[in-house]
Amino acid sequence: MSGGLDRAALVAGAKAVAARMEACGDEINEADAKLGDGDLGVTMTRGMGAIVAEADALPADVGMALLACSKCFTRISGSSFGTLVATGLMAMAKACKGREEVPWAEASALLAAACEAMRKRGKAELGAKTVLDSLAAMAAAMEGKDAPGELAAAARDAAGAALEEFRGRQNKLGRARMYGEKSKGLDDPGMLVALRVAEGLAPPADG
């Protein structure tokens, strides 16, 4: 498969994810209310909304376009999750800087780079039941693939499996950590966001 991530693909992807966030914002807020502030859906909806509002003005340089997307998330909120999303987008921006098309075969490495930058910024480790566990699983599932549809489907399935796998465990980071044993059985709101974002790019068969 030739081709890659360019400005048009980025804009189309952002619009699809923004629409999915609009549809799932309340659900994400409710999941977050059980383990945190209850405003994570608002953060995601506003952040993606800000990107879509700027979509027409995004530059052709994919790196600079991703940098603009990153800044949308730093503008709309001071929330930690918003800053983590901005951090991930910034890591991808650095890797793409100066290119107008980034081969799809690099998608897995881009997501892995985002995950690592977010891990450092959040001073976190994998396995603590956070969005990082979803992103790591998604990046692993995307490895070796270079077709956008296949990549998105693999990411979606991996995010779903990670959410299932971690649901019964205890949250070990951030505000959710304060809930201790009570967090067992609850979906981590950040992991839920990862799944819903991936579903924006690869709509589920039943959804």
122 is a site residue for other proteins (CB under 8 A): yes
- CB under 8 A: which stretch of 14-22, 64-72, 136-144, 145-153 binds other proteins? 64-72
- Asked whether 61 and 94 are in contact (CB, 8 A), the reply is no
83 is a site residue for other proteins (CB under 8 A): yes
34 is a site residue for other proteins (CB under 8 A): no
130 is a site residue for other proteins (CB under 8 A): no
Q: Which is nearer to other proteins, 87 or 154 (CB)?
A: 87
- Asked whether 153 and 201 are in contact (CB, 8 A), the reply is no
Using CB under 8 A as the binding rule, the residues of this chain from 142 to 171 that contact other proteins are none
Torsion-angle region of 129 (φ positive above 0: left; ψ -120 to 50: alpha; else: beta): left
Judged by CB under 8 A, the residue of 29, 45, 87, 183 near other proteins is: 87
86 is a site residue for other proteins (CB under 8 A): yes
43 is a site residue for other proteins (CB under 8 A): no
189 is a site residue for other proteins (CB under 8 A): no
Q: How far is CA 163 from CA 2, 83, 148, 168, 205, in A?
A: 32, 22, 22, 9, 18
Residue 143 Cβ vs other proteins, minimum distance, rounded to whole Å: 27
121 is a site residue for other proteins (CB under 8 A): yes
Residues within the interface to other proteins (CB under 8 A): 67, 70-71, 74-80, 82-84, 86-87, 90, 93-94, 121-122, 174
